[in-house]
Structure 1
């Protein structure tokens, strides 16, 4: 049994009392970090001393309350025979005595006798006493009165054993884990009540009795959809990976809820049991929906010294036909002030996205685009049509296949040609970084992709027909220095990137200029403008392009404080006239940058400097964007 708190001393005489009465609390350490934390969190004297000043009478009540709160904290950590001491001392070194025994007058009178201007010190300490351990643990069926029949998995989830410390968090947590296990096994109506504890001071043990009512095993019953105002119910039911007659499992139900939320057309999806009792051996489910905003308007802005300023606006409809189809219209002005540009261009396109095309988790995307860009390497005006299907292939793997048609006019080195190009891009992507938002930086794992695009083009002015296949692959991996004990998680990251490409089936001059391979810029080698790495036309700033390309990056990323970061990098790459990579003149760029982390991702500013600058190349390049480069 816990002893009472005693206040020692003798009264010093009369004087006007302070209201509020200032005081300072000193809580002595027990030598046990977890217990100290629990005591500090429980003490009102400690937590309220600077924010909620009170007069003598209320302070006396706070002292009595602290006695009870600290005793509860002791018991929650397994100390059921400890003692709490609270000693108040006046600021002039004299003391007054009172005993907390259920009568408030003595303590209040002593506090009221403290003159104004004097600060009281509250010395708080505890004697832990012996640590209690669990004794007998009994599970009783709340209705039948007999022990409930648990499966091995449910017993493992309960995870309480005789002899372990009688810590409240473990005891109460075991009931919650048992309830989760029961419900996951189909016991939708299971109940696990709060346990009754019996203290055995003689043996320093705690006997626990847990009332458990498993209830029957139920399947999922009728699924009701409520408040679907703009999305078609038939689409939601096809999308939902949950069906009537399946075993009731909360994790699967939650997974279905999260999946519906990921469609982007709902701001809220709530699921609840549809009944308090079983309905023909099932548990009905009620899904309630709240629609998100259907339309949005956004702005796009980017800058680099090579490609210049890119600015524009987007408009998006997130539920075009009632099946979560997305239509996005974008208009951009490009090429303002870039060293790789000869003038202003534009990029206007409409993107259409349809989820669950023909079957679940198979998405259709299509784009129609009008493009004009005035690069030093060529001038292009084009209309493009693209369509493709994306679907998961295996864990962390996604596949994409589609068709593309392009009609373009290109001027290069004083010659203008028209091209009609047809291609069938195929791609496979791998990502185990666990990051769904492409703007959010990855801190571990691997990202990679393989692309094969069979193509043929028909050109004017004797260019004829050419068949060629564009192949490329890239991979990036991230290593957290926390793994070797050098930093806190996610603060210091080494990032690596490698890219390789090859065009088979045609020579450089038989391939339309925009289909050739180029390097330079933030996607390959920073410090060199876009198309600034590779063969140049007669030693000018006009890039020819090539039929092979390879590039690699090593980057160190360091977060500083909570919102800032820095990066340092080395890039290297080359473009060759052979279809075999690792040919051409290797160009190396080095540099660094700063980051400002926002809720939607980091704002990035990088500066790259060429190590072996080519003729007519930039002396440095600046890149500003949202998200990391890879």
Structure 2
């Protein structure tokens, strides 16, 4: 007698029951239409955390199941293929962080992502149902670097500087990005030492699973140290070549250094006459090595220029409740005589509806800047300006002429000196006087914020300026006085103490102090007195609204000034931001600052960040406003206040 296994008995019993219900299923199908399988098949992916945020981001970025689930819907068979392909992608991500013994687990609708029957499983899912997809990982041990070797077939001894830049050491985590970055750092260091033909081959890695290490070996070709050879200038049309050669920071015979070449390129681009400046090395020619040397062993350079528009027209506008609206247009010639001279012709309408204004005004000026005047990094600036203001403090109509020299001393420091003359008529409190002024404005400034665009928001560094303007006033005899003023601001990124991402949360602080020496308040022309209030000193108070006042409440001005600002700036999302601030300041008729009635304003603001700078909207209220002062002030402009 043959005894069947118990499992076989069970199987036959199931078959008998299946036959007994088959007819009833057929009858049911006559009444119920089955749900069709979905094509495309929707799915939702969840990914397990590893405890390493950087690794989590790399894994999520490597998975096509995650990146494509909403962008490219697919059917069951393609979804199964997408899951199979993700094994290799995710395994590569694990290994790039040093987890060479790690494993990847993918589950789709409860089945393994590499299950051969997965397409059938997905095809059986009723239409309208989302398939769950789960990604999880077993990291295993973290591999570290074993032997790290540098081999140079030429047997050159690498310099300590290059070795220090290389930076890889036995025992550190075997992270792929670090291993590849070391290759780039070593190559950059060698070329910075003048080895223009240096080459570092991609590393060869040897995995040693038994001790969880990876050996890496680099082949280095250092090559000779070379100097810069012939410097060619291509693409110049209206800009004079001799001007560019005088301005160029490089010269033949100088040691080849990529950083110096890039600094020279950026310096030329900053002249304002080129839309693009590029640099090529080597002799060039079809199929030639771009690092090919001249017969004398030097490496030639070629600067390729694309000249920008000679003429541009720009519009500008601003608004604040105290000064009202302003709007104008500027026409600019960027290369007046062929040496990057810039001529600006500007016309502005001012005082459109402001509470500190009493009528429309204008500001019309011509400004000519000639770079490299007598000396490199020294510019001649000539300005002629016609000005009309109808302020609560005074009404002014003036003609100003200024000639000055601006000199850049270093990356952060610059100085300026000039002579200026002004003929003006001023009406204050019903009294009209004519003034003739001659002055020698002197200033020094420091800026370590490292901003290419001055309208961008600073996140670190210091800005400071010192000014002294000796002035002779020819009215009722003559009066000699000197205006002294200093302003400083600093920026602290909370990322430095681990409280935010870089550039997202910034504290900005500003302080201003001023004093007039040699004359009392009423010996000074009203426009030469010191005032506070407005966006540049104390927001929440109208322009010139802080300080001594006449009986009618209009500003007198003073001979000393001090003001300070504390502002917190927070980036929100990608393009928006917010600010909160407190301003305080005072003006006195004494010559020493820190005198007078202290006024305090506070407010909040919104920012929208554009490629040309943030659009700023601030609302401020006075915390101790004088009688007759405004209840709030609104400021709209481009760029931060400081």
CA gap 1:491/1:345 in 2 versus in 1, 3 angstroms: same
SS of equivalent to 1:546: coil
What does residue range 331-410 of structure 1 map to in structure 2 within 5 Å?
331-393=347-409, 396-410=412-426
What does residue range 98-247 of structure 1 map to in structure 2 within 5 Å?
110=120, 114=124, 117=127, 125-141=136-152, 144=153, 147-247=155-255
SS of equivalent to 1:595: strand
Larger displacement relative to structure 2 (118-127 or 590-599): 118-127
Query: Is this contact kept in 2: 1:98–1:110, CA < 8 A?
Result: no
SS of equivalent to 1:174: helix
TM-score (norm 1): 0.85
Q: Quick one: distance in 2 between partners of 1:121 and 1:605?
A: 46
Aligned partner (choices 602, 605, 609) of residue 591 of structure 1: 602
Answer yes or no: is 1:574 the counterpart of 2:550.
no
Aligned partner (choices 453, 456, 473) of residue 440 of structure 1: 456
Q: Quick one: distance in 2 between partners of 1:501 and 1:98?
A: 73
Q: Deviations over 1:45-88 (max 9, x none)?
A: 44334433444554454344333333433433334445555565
Note the C-alpha offset of 1:558.
4.2
Note the C-alpha offset of 1:338.
2.8
CA gap 1:349/1:113 in 2 versus in 1, 3 angstroms: closer
Q: Quick one: distance in 2 between partners of 1:564 and 1:26?
A: 31
CA gap 1:79/1:443 in 2 versus in 1, 3 angstroms: closer
Q: Deviations over 1:344-363 (max 9, x none)?
A: 22211011112222111112
SS of equivalent to 1:342: coil
Note the C-alpha offset of 1:178.
1.3
Gaps of 5+ in 2: 1-34, 284-288
Query: Is this contact kept in 1: 2:603–2:621, CA < 8 A?
Result: no
Larger displacement relative to structure 2 (448-457 or 132-141): 132-141
CA gap 1:352/1:133 in 2 versus in 1, 3 angstroms: same
Q: Which residue of 2 aligns with 1:552?
A: 564
Q: Deviations over 1:270-310 (max 9, x none)?
A: 11212322222111112111222222222222233332322
Aligned partner (choices 481, 503, 512) of residue 499 of structure 1: 512
Q: Quick one: distance in 2 between partners of 1:613 and 1:84?
A: 67
SS of equivalent to 1:541: coil
Gaps of 5+ in 1: 1-14, 101-105
Aligned partner (choices 63, 66, 73) of residue 93 of structure 2: 73
Q: Pairwise CA RMSD of aligned residues?
A: 3.2
Q: Quick one: distance in 2 between partners of 1:132 and 1:267?
A: 48
Q: Deviations over 1:319-349 (max 9, x none)?
A: 2222221111111122233333332222110
Note the C-alpha offset of 1:399.
1.0
Query: Is this contact kept in 1: 2:382–2:403, CA < 8 A?
Result: yes
CA gap 1:38/1:457 in 2 versus in 1, 3 angstroms: closer
Count, aligned residues = 598
Query: Is this contact kept in 1: 2:40–2:73, CA < 8 A?
Result: yes
Q: Which residue of 1 aligns with 2:293?
A: 278
SS of equivalent to 2:360: strand
Q: Quick one: distance in 2 between partners of 1:99 and 1:379?
A: 83
Query: Is this contact kept in 2: 1:560–1:566, CA < 8 A?
Result: no
Q: Deviations over 1:79-126 (max 9, x none)?
A: 444555556556xxxx7x9988xxxxx658756874664766556555
Q: Deviations over 1:586-620 (max 9, x none)?
A: 14132313222231333333344445544554444
Q: Which residue of 2 aligns with 1:8?
A: none
Q: Which residue of 2 aligns with 1:624?
A: 636
Q: Quick one: distance in 1 between partners of 2:44 and 2:523?
A: 85
Query: Is this contact kept in 1: 2:321–2:634, CA < 8 A?
Result: yes
Q: Quick one: distance in 2 between partners of 1:64 and 1:608?
A: 59
Q: Quick one: distance in 2 between partners of 1:291 and 1:17?
A: 62
SS of equivalent to 1:67: helix
Q: Which residue of 2 aligns with 1:477?
A: 490
Q: Quick one: distance in 2 between partners of 1:247 and 1:489?
A: 36
SS of equivalent to 2:376: coil
Note the C-alpha offset of 1:367.
0.6
Aligned partner (choices 495, 507, 517) of residue 530 of structure 2: 517
Query: Is this contact kept in 1: 2:561–2:585, CA < 8 A?
Result: no
Q: Quick one: distance in 1 between partners of 2:427 and 2:44?
A: 81
CA gap 1:21/1:221 in 2 versus in 1, 3 angstroms: same
SS of equivalent to 2:245: helix
Q: Quick one: distance in 1 between partners of 2:131 and 2:627?
A: 79
Q: Quick one: distance in 1 between partners of 2:234 and 2:549?
A: 64
Q: Quick one: distance in 2 between partners of 1:494 and 1:26?
A: 38
Answer yes or no: is 1:449 the counterpart of 2:465.
yes
Larger displacement relative to structure 2 (351-360 or 432-441): 432-441
TM-score (norm 2): 0.84
Q: Quick one: distance in 2 between partners of 1:363 and 1:586?
A: 42
Query: Is this contact kept in 2: 1:540–1:616, CA < 8 A?
Result: no
SS of equivalent to 1:341: coil
Q: Which residue of 1 aligns with 2:440?
A: 424
Q: Quick one: distance in 2 between partners of 1:533 and 1:38?
A: 56
Aligned partner (choices 306, 309, 313) of residue 322 of structure 2: 306
Q: Deviations over 1:186-243 (max 9, x none)?
A: 1111111222233334444433332221122111111111111232222222222111
